Homo-oligomer: A and B are copies of this chain.
Amino acid sequence: MNNYGEYIKALRESKGLTLRDVEKKTEVSNAYLSQLESSKIKQPSPTTLYKLAELYGVKYEVLMEKVGYPVPKGDVSLKSRKSEKTILHRIGEVTSEEEMELLDYLKFIRSRKK
């Protein structure tokens, strides 16, 4: 099974948001968000993905790709050009897995800080 949920979850946690926070801002139920984050939903609607992408400050196409949808060919090399306006930008080129780990670590750091 595809593990896109972990990524989407890492995004939320890195922003210090709760499932219900996201529910309020996106109008997507926390119950559904929970299922999304455990990759239980096979084909979430693009509209839903778009809301999350906007809230988390990630490119819509990236989420589409993670979930396994075809992505417009014009979108050159998400693999390498990714996360332009993210904090991670300063660090340079990053793979998906690396990014996730970083986000996780960021979350850890913040929790430590009280």
By a beta-carbon cutoff of 8 Å, the part of chain A in contact with chain B is: 43, 45-47, 50, 59-61, 64, 69-70, 72-75
Contacts and interface: CB of A to CB of B under 8 A. Distances in A.
A45 B91 CA distance: 36
Contact of A69 (B43, B46, B59, B75): B46
A81 B47 CA distance: 24
B72 A72 contact: yes
Chain A interface main SS type? loop
A70 B63 CA distance: 13
A63 to B, nearest CB: 11
A60 to B, nearest CB: 6
A70 B45 contact: no
